[in-house]
Structure 1
Amino acid sequence: MANGAMKTQRWFDAVQRCQHKGEAYALVTVLGCTGSTPRDQGSKMVITGESTYDTIGGGHLEFVVTNKAREMISDNKSVQEIQHFPLGASLGQCCGGSATVLMETFAGCDFHIGLFGAGHVAKALVTILAGLPCKVTWVDSREAEFPADVPANVTQVISDQPTYELEQLPNGSDVLILTHNHQLDYELCLSAIKHGNLRHVGLIGSLTKAERFVKRMLHRGIDQTDIDRITCPVGLSDVPGKLPMEVAVSIAGQLIAVENKGKTTDARRGLAWKEIKQELGGEVNTEGQGSVLKVTHT
């Protein structure tokens, strides 16, 4: 069974993998236990929508925790919950002890980029996108143009129908059209307009290319409002340069601006220190740097 095989991968490797891929996951930690339990405090496992990694002891406890974690993951929010399980009374396990677990969910990445073309600019851009919290679908019909290794957050798609691949992108995706063929660029622009639910569409090229595309689209009866959703030339106008990496930096900067437009950061996130002290009790040591809350076990 796939899930069973995944248990051999340690939880910390799974966390790194999920972070790199932008995949939603839950990290489960046994905070404490009494009596006979499958695993001791500190045991951890990672749960995704499809797999589990490492184990907190198996049995019905792990089954219930896995199902609960997947319910939490489905909301795609980063939250924390502490749950207590009497193993004998509520879960029917023969050990008869109890376990308290911390369930932390980490939202998956919804910053999705469809990158069309595997030329010099696209290759340079991928090296930048590898370090950003995004998922990239990289499409080209020329297998030989792709590098031997691609970053963990990039999915390589070799397709003779790139327009179809564009139309299958999730709603809210950002699209970058950077192919070697002007006619293909034009057809991809039409597919982007047909999709209708993309956040940002960027087309590489000059102002002259943009004007020609606009005339062709208007001649086809495409509404000017739909045409205006395509940005050409793509990239930040105040970031000059014609080298592939310079163009890539300009495009990446524009994408980052689009992703963060209108976002605000709350001054307070999670539990305040005062609330944590109140809820957990214990002795606070303020010597040295910071404060230490020591929770005694009874």
Structure 2
Amino acid sequence: MTSAPQDTQGVLVTIVETKGSVPREAGTTMWVETERTTGTIGGGNLEFQAIEQARKLLAKDAQIATTQKYALGPLLEQCCGGSVVLSLEKISRTEGEARRARAASAETRHPLYVFGAGHVGKAVMAAIQPLPFRVVWVDARPHEFPEHVDATVTQDHSSNPIDVISAAESGALFLVLTHSHQLDFEITAAALRRGDARYIGLIGSDTKRARFESRMKKDGVLDDDQLKRLTCPIGVVGIKGKEPEVIAAAVAAQLLQQL
């Protein structure tokens, strides 16, 4: 009978205190093992020194934790000018992953509702999953969702999209990328009618926007002031590519501009 493999040890590096200008905020974590690292506390010589100290800690049998302060000045060849206090703790990989997950869940994340799980929807989700959003991803086609998504993403393939919009928080962001122009129209109109969205983005051209606006005004659904809140085309100005990954990069940058 073989014994179960031991849980690999590593060092959880946490920024516990900051002063002045620093590359990352307090609460940021990084996981260090003998041959690999996960996450970042800001790069540069600060991170190099932290990794070196973490691996020295791993090599010591008796010591399991230490705290170190670094000034981000000439000695580290970093010109931020502030200082950070790091906590280094030797623990199991399982515990380290759990602690990093709890730290991530405590971060401020902004509510974002993404409608559509097609090619562009998947590319956008891949681009924004590392970013500070708490995402509800809506599409009635369950087979379109990837097998694995980040823990900050909730997949919804059973709710009526209009009900999802009605239940959304004030100040939420909405991104409309569905496979149907009619569904795009209905979702966009519902989001605009709320009047409290931080961002409403609709995939499409200037022509699509003009047609939607004309129809909404003709049907009495929305007026000019409400339509001013619509972003269409989506993405930061100047990025011309139409490949899903290019659109996703432009949209991710635009979403960050709203925060």
TM range (shorter): 0.5 to 0.7
2:255 paired residue number: 255
- Match of 1:176, SS state, is strand
1:277 paired residue number: none
Of structures 1 and 2, the one with the larger relative CO (CA 8 A, separation 6+) is 2
1:118 paired residue number: 117
Alignment of 1:153-232 (within 5 A): 153-221=152-220, 222-232=222-232
Distance 1:13 1:243 in 2: 34
> 1:134 Cα deviation (Å)?
1.5
> 1:140 Cα deviation (Å)?
0.3
Q: Check if 1:14 corresponds to 2:112.
A: no
> 1:247 Cα deviation (Å)?
0.6
> 1:257 Cα deviation (Å)?
1.3
Q: Which runs of 5+ in 1 are unaligned?
A: 1-8, 25-107, 260-298
Would the aligned equivalents of 1:121 and 1:245 in 2 still touch at CA under 8 Å?
yes
Which segment is superposed worse, 9-18 or 172-181?
Answer: 9-18
- Match of 2:108, SS state, is coil
> 1:233 Cα deviation (Å)?
0.7
User: C-alpha deviations, 1:248-275, integer Å up to 9, x for none?
Assistant: 011111111111xxxxxxxxxxxxxxxx
User: C-alpha deviations, 1:103-157, integer Å up to 9, x for none?
Assistant: xxxxx42411100000111101111111112111100000000001111211111
Distance 2:162 2:225 in 1: 21
Alignment of 1:14-53 (within 5 A): 14-20=98-104, 23-24=105-106
- Match of 1:115, SS state, is strand
> 1:11 Cα deviation (Å)?
6.0
With normalisation by structure 1, the TM-score equals: 0.53
User: C-alpha deviations, 1:74-128, integer Å up to 9, x for none?
Assistant: xxxxxxxxxxxxxxxxxxxxxxxxxxxxxxxxxx424111000001111011111
- Residue 255 of structure 1 aligns with an amino acid whose one-letter code is L
Structure 1 residue ranges (4+ consecutive) displaced by more than 6 angstroms after TM superposition: none
1:292 paired residue number: none
- Match of 2:258, SS state, is helix
> 1:185 Cα deviation (Å)?
0.3
- Residue 178 of structure 2 aligns with an amino acid whose one-letter code is T
Q: CA RMSD in A?
A: 1.7
Distance 2:235 2:169 in 1: 22
- Residue 17 of structure 1 aligns with an amino acid whose one-letter code is A
Distance 1:194 1:19 in 2: 36
Q: Which runs of 5+ in 2 are unaligned?
A: 1-92
Would the aligned equivalents of 1:167 and 1:194 in 2 still touch at CA under 8 Å?
no
> 1:19 Cα deviation (Å)?
3.7
Alignment of 1:49-64 (within 5 A): none
1:246 paired residue number: 246
- Residue 235 of structure 1 aligns with an amino acid whose one-letter code is G
1:148 paired residue number: 147
Distance 1:12 1:196 in 2: 43
Distance 2:247 2:138 in 1: 19
Distance 2:103 2:185 in 1: 35
Would the aligned equivalents of 1:178 and 1:204 in 2 still touch at CA under 8 Å?
yes
- Residue 159 of structure 1 aligns with an amino acid whose one-letter code is S
With normalisation by structure 2, the TM-score equals: 0.61
1:236 paired residue number: 236
- Residue 131 of structure 2 aligns with an amino acid whose one-letter code is L
Distance 1:138 1:176 in 2: 10
Would the aligned equivalents of 2:136 and 2:154 in 1 still touch at CA under 8 Å?
yes
Distance 2:113 2:166 in 1: 10
Distance 1:10 1:184 in 2: 43
How many residues matched?
166
- Residue 16 of structure 1 aligns with an amino acid whose one-letter code is R
Which segment is superposed worse, 160-169 or 146-155?
Answer: 160-169
> 1:10 Cα deviation (Å)?
7.1
- Match of 2:215, SS state, is helix
